[in-house]
Structure 1
């Protein structure tokens, strides 16, 4: 029954994803003509990586004389973003506690349950609920076929979230949500980073959605979070998308003028934030 419900969600959201189509496909690669079909019905993978406070938030906290929230021992979840957005009870594939250095590892992730990607869910004292995208089917057009190693996920301090909301202003937030929400978390939001091939933030960049009606919801915070604009990223390379506070929404975003880049999947709903990094090439840079 849960597969029927998710398929209905895919149809309603107008989403074309591996999870909404065939369950068997060749393993993606440079050569596929001699490849064998992969049995994704029974394939399970392991996800490992490191959780850290968002670098831009870490620098802002230091400038404010504030300390970072401790992440040691906090729980992280491996989740499917689309399932989270539509409140699927089976959205979580695994749970584990962070080591002292922020590392994590979860085995037994069922590939057949992946739709648009995989994300690491995070919340805890001094943090807001977020999901960091660690696998996006936009890159391969398929589910993952191998273990995901050395992934990077980010925790978002509540004080940084609050400062972003103050920079946007409650009037803007209520305007974008028709008075349903006065905070970013209540509305639902995307916090994105634009970096170069070396992982350095890119300034003066515009991020564009594949739906023109959503463009007015994208803002670029100043370096000190004192204001926002809609012209382009600051030295920190951040952008914020404000959701409606209503049901799940799906679309794609890309860097304006980057004809060789991959447009990224976005799935968002109220009550949490999606974290993603836009970067050139198929693989995230090592930071």
Structure 2
């Protein structure tokens, strides 16, 4: 049975009925004379791709003379972030492990319980618990019907989280959480990267949320992670959204003044970070 808050979120965010349950036809606008119905309630897909340390985190560690941690053999979960945020016991849809070359493949992931997005989650000592969005219903208005391949999943080492926390500032985090949290992990956060069609970071971009009262929670770290502003992205193209440290929230975010970037589903919950890449069009660039 669906969680009532999940049904409400689907209604509020305007998802098509197929994104919240039921059977659907194959892709619209094509000849369906010889096609069969696609039963999303019983469809399972494979999610595969490559996991690695977040690029800016790797550069920061290298600049400090520290080694980049390996992900070889570590566990990885496929989950619905919204379901996790509301403490749904069935939020994890599949599990796998990361190979020595960083690749992973998780089969038999059921799509019937995907409401807004699908993410690969990573939680191990030395890293912040984080989820990387690998599928967003905003692009299709429905749940995935085919395997997800070439997904990019990012791990956030604890030293990088600590650098982000310092860049935003403990005082700001405490203010945004009514003194419930002093770090981004405690508050819950979104780490976003804005890139162009080639995958290069975009400088001078501003994030717009569909809930205006949350706009003051967005920060843009400086390239050296010693400070941050609330003006626009730096050369890294990064932004950080600071959650309240309380109940999970869902919203959409977009890029100010650009129609090339679709508004994306996002959410935040205490104790973890959501990693999101914003790119023009509907297909992610190949390079990070």
CA separation in 2, counterparts of 1:155 and 1:79? 16
Q: 1:239 to 1:139 in 2, by over 3 A?
A: same
Let me know the Cα RMSD of the aligned residues: 1.6
Contact 2:20 2:114 in 1 (8 A): no
| SS in structure 2 of the partner of residue 171 of structure 1 | helix
| 2:215 matched residue in structure 1 | 215
| 2:5 matched residue in structure 1 | 8
| SS in structure 2 of the partner of residue 274 of structure 1 | strand
| 1:272 matched residue in structure 2 | 272
Shift of 1:37: 3.9
CA separation in 1, counterparts of 2:37 and 2:46? 20
Contact 1:180 1:187 in 2 (8 A): yes
CA separation in 1, counterparts of 2:222 and 2:284? 24
CA separation in 2, counterparts of 1:284 and 1:20? 21
Which sits farther off after the overlay, 130-139 or 110-119?
Answer: 110-119
CA separation in 2, counterparts of 1:51 and 1:84? 21
Structure 2, unaligned stretches of length 5 or more? none
What is the correspondence of 1:197-276 to structure 2 with a 5 Å cutoff?
A: 197-276=197-276
Residue 168, structure 1, aligned to residue 165, structure 2:
no
Q: 1:209 to 1:46 in 2, by over 3 A?
A: same
CA separation in 1, counterparts of 2:245 and 2:172? 13
CA separation in 2, counterparts of 1:282 and 1:231? 26
CA separation in 1, counterparts of 2:130 and 2:26? 30
Contact 1:10 1:20 in 2 (8 A): no
Residue 71, structure 1, aligned to residue 68, structure 2:
no
Structure 1, unaligned stretches of length 5 or more? none
Q: 1:146 to 1:9 in 2, by over 3 A?
A: closer
Contact 1:168 1:228 in 2 (8 A): yes
| 1:17 matched residue in structure 2 | 15
CA separation in 1, counterparts of 2:133 and 2:201? 18
Q: 1:241 to 1:120 in 2, by over 3 A?
A: same
Contact 1:26 1:32 in 2 (8 A): no
CA separation in 1, counterparts of 2:236 and 2:45? 34
Shift of 1:17: 3.5
CA separation in 1, counterparts of 2:8 and 2:142? 18
| 1:130 matched residue in structure 2 | 130
CA separation in 1, counterparts of 2:44 and 2:175? 44
| SS in structure 2 of the partner of residue 23 of structure 1 | coil
CA separation in 1, counterparts of 2:221 and 2:75? 29
CA separation in 1, counterparts of 2:203 and 2:192? 13
TM-score (structure 2 length as normaliser): 0.94
CA separation in 2, counterparts of 1:46 and 1:138? 20
CA separation in 2, counterparts of 1:276 and 1:68? 21
CA separation in 2, counterparts of 1:92 and 1:51? 18
CA separation in 1, counterparts of 2:202 and 2:233? 7
| Total equivalences in the alignment | 283
What is the correspondence of 1:114-125 to structure 2 with a 5 Å cutoff?
A: 114-125=114-125
Q: 1:69 to 1:281 in 2, by over 3 A?
A: same
CA separation in 1, counterparts of 2:201 and 2:91? 31
CA separation in 1, counterparts of 2:58 and 2:44? 34
Shift of 1:68: 1.1
What is the correspondence of 1:56-135 to structure 2 with a 5 Å cutoff?
A: 56-135=56-135
Q: 1:88 to 1:263 in 2, by over 3 A?
A: same
